[in-house]
Amino acid sequence: MGDGWFPGGFYLSSCTPLPAPKEQSMSETQATGSTQYLTFTLGDEIFALDVAEVREILDFTSVTKVPRTPSFMRGVINLRGSVVPVMDLRLKFGMSSTKQTVNSCIIVVEMNMGEDQVVIGVLADAVQEVIDLEPEQIEPAPRIGTKLNMDFILGMGKHNGTFMMILDIGKIFQGTDVSLEQAA
């Protein structure tokens, strides 16, 4: 599959091909309440992001290291003239760092950080598919005592007998300075 705009609104750059998401009219979405999610893996776990937050998916390319940044910030990439920080979610979640393979990708997302709209790249071991989840397919995020903050998990999605963690990407990096100067 070549580069190009992917149905659902994001740009796919010769990474793992994804099946096209089911097209829905606005009235269908409002009537069913379903939301489309991009699923991806980190290790053996499946995670999901609302496709509305996904800007594009890129091959895992070379990343320029930035001195004195947190370990989970792998560096920056040049995305058509803009500086985009690249974060390693595996490191942020206490796993080993993401290794570059034929399936690893950078998921470019837009998120709100305070009053700013920030674009970041998030490393994934592999991108899987775009799925529709109905509200009844999403369980509340687990509550594990009072010491662990699990606010970055919006819920647990159930699809084809598999659980996936639906992430709030902005809350993962809340309190982290990821707002590098991004050239327009």
Walk along the chain (184 residues) and give the pLDDT tens digit of each residue: 445 444 445 555 545 444 444 444 444 444 457 789 999 999 999 999 999 999 999 999 889 999 999 999 999 999 999 999 999 999 998 899 999 899 999 999 998 777 888 899 999 999 999 999 999 998 887 776 655 567 788 889 999 888 999 999 888 877 655 544 444 4
3-state secondary structure at position 123: strand
> How far is it, in rounded angstroms, from Cα 76 to Cα 21?
30
Is residue 81 situated within a structural domain? yes
- 126: closest CA among 55, 32, 43? 43
Total number of domains constituting the chain: 1
Q: Any idea which residue has 């053996």 for tokens?
A: 44
Is residue 90 situated within a structural domain? yes
Task: Give residue 171's identity as a one-letter amino acid code.
Answer: K
> How far is it, in rounded angstroms, from Cα 30 to Cα 134?
11
Is residue 134 situated within a structural domain? no
Residue 116, domain CATH: 2.40.50.180
Is residue 145 situated within a structural domain? no
Query: Residue 25 has which token pair?
Result: 């009219």
Is residue 98 situated within a structural domain? yes
The parent domain of residue 81 ranges over 4-17+36-129
Task: Give residue 139's identity as a one-letter amino acid code.
Answer: E
27-74, pLDDT tens digit by residue?
A: 444 445 778 999 999 999 999 999 999 999 999 988 999 999 999 999
Is residue 86 situated within a structural domain? yes
> How far is it, in rounded angstroms, from Cα 13 to Cα 35?
23
